[in-house]
């Protein structure tokens, strides 16, 4: 886990400006600035029952995540699921919780990542650019952070969802929440949303460097690229996520210079009874072990930061499935987190989307 980062506050807003031709009672305005708003999935405020229930209720009530009719889904969610699941999810979070900072690893890593991105923005653009972050679910919320940035003078904002591959349940719902937050603003800033970066050469290179660094130059019998899953139906309805995941894996393999059968693409975090994208990671690693593959590594290219799905699911449940089926050596390759190469990727994306604004 990334060590807790000191809270690196956003640059202090310049003194309000007086409008030369305005009447004396006209409210003062902050100096105009450009904002960069980084968005991640979210995290519960704690691992206790009520914190987990609030978080899961917000997450699982999102129509982008669960698109069943409300009349069918909400009674099930509010009854059985939110009665039982906060206990099991809370136990899972407790096992990986950053107790020193009293926050989830995702929050710790996001703070560290944004602090480095803020420092890089300061180096490149000085005080002209303000960098902050929000969560789609939980705190700090998108509306609260957007409002803070507008009050600090951000008349133009670059919105950067932390998802390399586009999916309706991740990138789109983050954008949705931003657009809803804009509806509450009297004076809306101009906004640019960043596209997915699943095939950027610098992103692929950062992934490859993380593989080489973790494995120390050796090649396991199999590298499993495990992506967050989604119902297969979403692919058939036009969501590009599956195709972008496949391309990320191919480009990573080509960058590493490995043969075609060296890396497998799988999907994790299956929920409910509906068929999801296959193969399922937990089943696939067990099958590898039964086939005599005794040395595997797992990487999670869809996650920009380690979280419950990587630290507890991959390095816990999926590792156990592999070892229980007879597998020997299991190596988890951490997410890019606040790695310097990752920060340069993000800064490059921001710079491209600032074109014409600076």
What residues form the annotated binding site? Answer: 228, 309
Nearest C-alpha neighbor of 146 from the set 192, 179, 195: 179
CA distance 174 to 191: 13
3-state secondary structure of 154: strand
Q: How many CA atoms lie within 13 A of 290 on its CB side?
A: 8
Binding-site residue ranges for Fe(2+): 228, 309
The residue behind tokens 């303000």 is 130
- Give the relative orientation of helices 173-182 and 142-151 as an angle to the nearest 10 degrees: 50
3-state secondary structure of 134: strand
Nearest C-alpha neighbor of 251 from the set 263, 239, 267: 263
CA distance 351 to 356: 10
Dig out the tokens for 59 from the structure.
């997450």
CA distance 250 to 287: 22
Q: Any bridge partners for residue 331, and if so which?
A: 297
Contacts of 335 (CB under 8 A, 6+ apart): 109, 300, 303, 304, 305, 306, 310
CA distance 161 to 184: 21
CA distance 128 to 122: 8
Contacts of 37 (CB under 8 A, 6+ apart): 132, 133, 134, 145, 146, 149, 157, 158, 159, 160, 178
């Amino acid at each position: 886990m990334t060590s807790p980062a000191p809270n690196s506050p956003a640059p202090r807003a310049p003194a309000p400006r007086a409008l030369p031709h305005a009447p004396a009672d006209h409210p003062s305005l902050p100096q105009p600035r450009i904002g960069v708003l980084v968005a991640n999935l979210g995290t519960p405020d704690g691992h206790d029952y009520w914190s987990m229930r609030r978080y899961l209720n917000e997450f699982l009530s999102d129509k982008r995540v669960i698109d069943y009719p409300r009349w069918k889904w909400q009674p099930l969610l509010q009854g059985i699921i939110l009665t039982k699941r906060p206990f099991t999810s809370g136990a899972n979070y407790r096992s990986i919780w950053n107790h020193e900072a009293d926050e989830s690893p995702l929050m710790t890593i996001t703070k560290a990542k944004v602090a480095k991105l803020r420092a890089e923005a300061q180096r490149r653009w000085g005080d002209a650019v303000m960098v902050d972050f929000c969560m789609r679910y939980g705190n700090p919320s998108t509306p609260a952070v957007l409002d803070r940035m507008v009050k600090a003078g951000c008349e133009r904002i670059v919105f950067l969802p932390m998802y390399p591959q586009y999916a309706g349940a991740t990138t789109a719902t983050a954008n949705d929440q931003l657009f809803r937050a804009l509806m509450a603003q009297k004076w809306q800033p101009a906004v640019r949303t960043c596209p997915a970066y699943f095939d950027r050469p610098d992103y692929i290179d950062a992934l490859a460097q993380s593989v080489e660094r973790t494995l120390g130059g050796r090649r396991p019998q199999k590298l499993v690229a495990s992506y967050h899953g989604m119902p297969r139906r979403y692919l058939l309805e036009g969501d590009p996520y599956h195709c972008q995941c496949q391309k990320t894996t191919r480009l990573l393999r080509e960058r590493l210079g490995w043969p075609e059968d060296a890396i497998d693409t799988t999907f994790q975090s299956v929920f409910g009874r509906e068929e999801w994208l296959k193969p399922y990671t937990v089943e696939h690693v067990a099958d590898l072990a039964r086939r005599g593959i005794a040395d595997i590594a797992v990487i999670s290219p869809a996650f920009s930061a380690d979280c419950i799905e990587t630290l507890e699911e991959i390095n816990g449940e999926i590792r156990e499935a592999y070892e229980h089926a007879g597998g020997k050596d299991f190596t988890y390759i951490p997410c890019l987190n606040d790695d310097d190469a990752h920060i340069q990727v993000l800064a490059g994306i921001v710079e491209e989307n600032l074109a014409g604004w600076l």
